């Protein structure tokens, strides 16, 4: 059979199993399309032939509208580090709900939350809040521009920082993303992650116009790729020598240690961006850092930078965030990191046994499979050399086996998990890859050997 024919045969069979298991999901998405374009209201929940519609979550499980049970290794894109409906978070929300959900005045809980964040991250001397990671990035960038009086921002190729126009631009290797004004190209520079010389060159050459360098603690959505060879520290040094601020986006990486990835990789940025896990599952974000930089937002400045938001730090979200941070102790985070390292080692074992040359990249509780034989150190290696067909079918076969991993191939560990769930993930991965191996042999022979 031709490569194309074999691919069509596998797709058809795997999709048919998926369709049989998820009949109600298909109906929901089909009828939703009347009001929501194609039934999709958030790009990161969409996959073909149609996404699974979930009815509820419980701990590290999700249950779909057809009552299928999934082990949740995606956990709302790594954000639900305590799993679903953690009892302490639920209790806190229930206590706060009857006492008011939003008010146009400060609430004491926000100051308690601020103290907790500053206590955990030494580089964060002052912090402010918002309702998403995207907003937190936007306001951190604004702080850097206001403080330095410069406009340009340097970011890493492929590094995702949310949906703020200039940050979407920084995908770098693509054409201007649809819907963005051409003007964003003027203010954003892009460099490959983990390439010290390239970053140094671009920072020194542009230092008079460059306000900040923004980088994640580990590249999250771009492949769970950790910094190598003191890369972040190098960025800090070079940026500092050139009067450029360093912003570390810890929206994903904060869950790796109580002080985030900056603690692990021994770096002290001028500004830090937070989101996802700090809100206990409610929509929140935060940005903070050096006192003198954060002072640009001080209401007692002659001309403060503007930062507003109707639902910033509402008491229910803040209380959920506080409850969540209390549970994210060093011991708990270490335990799930150990589970992640164990998963990574055992995934490599599965690949070796099957003689498949994919890569496992990650740090602690965040691991990802990359269907490429190339070592993955930058987003471009991951993006350009991976086999997308294999990834798509692998994800779908895993769904058919009740393993809900990220559609990009990541496994995010949550606190309700133990070795039992790691065993299940290993078993499902082994079975899925064994099933796909004859196809991989034909369509991606470079992955075999």
* Active site residues per annotation: 160, 249, 276
* Residue window 303-322: x/- pattern of binding to ligand PLP, with contact defined by CB under 6 A: --------------------
Q: Is 132 in the site for ligand PLP (CB under 6 A)?
A: yes
Give the interface segment with ligand PLP, choosing from 8-16, 248-256, 308-316, 415-423 (CB under 6 A): 248-256
CA angle 226, 227, 232 (to 5 degrees): 140
CA distance 336 to 165: 34
Rounded least distance, CB 276 to ligand PLP, Å: 6
Q: How many residues bind ligand PLP (CB under 6 A)?
A: 16
**Bond before 440 cis per omega within 30 degrees:** no
Rounded least distance, CB 273 to ligand PLP, Å: 6
Collapse the DSSP code of 381 into the 3-class scheme (helix H, G, I; strand E, B; otherwise coil) and give the result: helix
* 82, 188, 251, 376: which one binds ligand PLP (CB under 6 A): 251
* 134, 314, 367, 377: which one binds ligand PLP (CB under 6 A): 134
* 158, 166, 220, 259: which one binds ligand PLP (CB under 6 A): 220
Rounded least distance, CB 400 to ligand PLP, Å: 26
Question: In terms of Cα–Cα distance, which of 132, 127, 104 is closest to 117?
Answer: 127
Collapse the DSSP code of 376 into the 3-class scheme (helix H, G, I; strand E, B; otherwise coil) and give the result: coil
Q: Is 160 in the site for ligand PLP (CB under 6 A)?
A: yes
Token output for 52: 């699974």
Report CA-CA distances (Å) from 398 to 368, 371, 393, 394, 395. Answer: 14, 15, 8, 6, 5
Token output for 257: 């240690």
Neighbours of 68 (CB within 10 A): 19
Q: Which residue lies nearest ligand PLP, judged by its C-beta?
A: 133
* 51, 59, 162, 321: which one binds ligand PLP (CB under 6 A): 162
Taking the least distance from each CB to ligand PLP, the nearer of 95 and 311 is: 311
Rounded least distance, CB 445 to ligand PLP, Å: 34
CB contact at 8 A, 225 and 376: yes
Taking the least distance from each CB to ligand PLP, the nearer of 14 and 273 is: 273
DSSP string covering 121-178, please?
-TT-SEEEEESSHHHHHHHHHHHHHHHH---EEEEETT----S-HHHHHTT-SSSSPT
* 199, 244, 248, 252: which one binds ligand PLP (CB under 6 A): 252
In the numeric block, the tokens 């520290």 are attached to 233
Rounded least distance, CB 63 to ligand PLP, Å: 24
Q: Is 77 in the site for ligand PLP (CB under 6 A)?
A: yes
CB contact at 8 A, 439 and 7: yes
* 114, 202, 221, 390: which one binds ligand PLP (CB under 6 A): 221
Q: Is 216 in the site for ligand PLP (CB under 6 A)?
A: yes
Question: In terms of Cα–Cα distance, which of 111, 8, 61, 368 is closest to 219?
Answer: 368
Q: Is 137 in the site for ligand PLP (CB under 6 A)?
A: yes
| Main-chain phi, psi angles of 40, to 5 degrees | -105, 120
Token output for 159: 């590094």
Taking the least distance from each CB to ligand PLP, the nearer of 281 and 285 is: 285
Give the interface segment with ligand PLP, choosing from 33-41, 158-166, 189-197, 433-441 (CB under 6 A): 158-166
Per CB under 6 A, residues contacting ligand PLP are: 77, 132-134, 137, 160-162, 216, 220-221, 249, 251-252, 275, 285
């Amino acid at each position: 059979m031709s490569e194309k024919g074999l691919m069509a045969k596998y797709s058809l069979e795997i999709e048919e199993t998926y369709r049989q298991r998820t009949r109600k999901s298909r109906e929901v998405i089909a009828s939703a399309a009347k009001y929501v374009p194609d039934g999709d209201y958030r790009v990161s929940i969409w996959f073909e032939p149609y996404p699974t519609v979930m009815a509820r979550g419980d701990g590290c499980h999700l249950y779909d509208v057809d009552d299928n049970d999934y082990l949740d290794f995606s956990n709302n894109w790594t954000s639900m580090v305590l799993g679903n409906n953690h009892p302490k978070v639920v209790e806190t929300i229930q206590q706060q709900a009857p006492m008011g959900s939003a008010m146009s005045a400060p609430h004491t809980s926000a100051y308690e939350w601020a103290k907790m964040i500053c206590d955990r991250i030494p580089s964060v001397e002052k912090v402010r809040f918002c309702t998403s990671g995207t907003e937190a990035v936007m306001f951190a960038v604004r702080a850097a521009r206001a403080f330095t009086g410069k406009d340009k921002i340097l970011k890493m190729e492929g590094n995702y920082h949310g949906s703020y126009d200039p940050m979407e631009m920084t995908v770098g290797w693509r054409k201007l993303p649809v819907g963005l004004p051409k003007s964003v190209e003027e203010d954003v520079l892009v460099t490959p992650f983990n390439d010290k010389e390239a970053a140094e060159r671009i920072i020194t050459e542009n230092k008079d116009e460059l306000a900040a360098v923004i980088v994640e603690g580990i590249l999250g959505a771009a492949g769970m790729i950790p910094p190598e060879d003191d890369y972040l520290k190098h960025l800090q040094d070079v940026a500092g020598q050139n009067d450029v601020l360093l912003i570390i986006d810890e929206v994903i990486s904060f869950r790796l240690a109580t002080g985030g990835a900056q603690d692990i990789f021994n770096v002290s940025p001028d500004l830090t961006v937070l989101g996802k896990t700090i809100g206990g599952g409610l929509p929140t974000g935060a940005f903070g850092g050096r006192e003198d930089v954060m002072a640009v937002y001080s209401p007692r400045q002659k001309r403060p930078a503007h930062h507003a938001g109707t639902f910033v730090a509402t008491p229910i979200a803040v209380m959920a965030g506080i409850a969540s941070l209390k549970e994210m102790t060093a011991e708990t985070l270490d335990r799930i990191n150990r589970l992640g390292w164990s998963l990574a080692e055992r995934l490599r074992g599965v690949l070796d046994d099957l003689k498949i040359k994919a890569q496992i990249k990650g740090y602690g509780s965040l691991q990802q499979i990359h269907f490429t034989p190339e070592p993955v150190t930058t987003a471009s290696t991951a993006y350009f050399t991976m086999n997308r067909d294999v990834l798509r079918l692998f994800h779908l076969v895993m769904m058919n086996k009740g393993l809900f991993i990220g559609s990009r191939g990541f496994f995010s560990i949550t606190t309700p998990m133990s070795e039992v769930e790691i065993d299940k993930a290993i078993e499902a991965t082994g079975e899925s890859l064994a099933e796909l191996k004859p196809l991989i042999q034909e369509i991606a022979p470079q992955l075999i050997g």
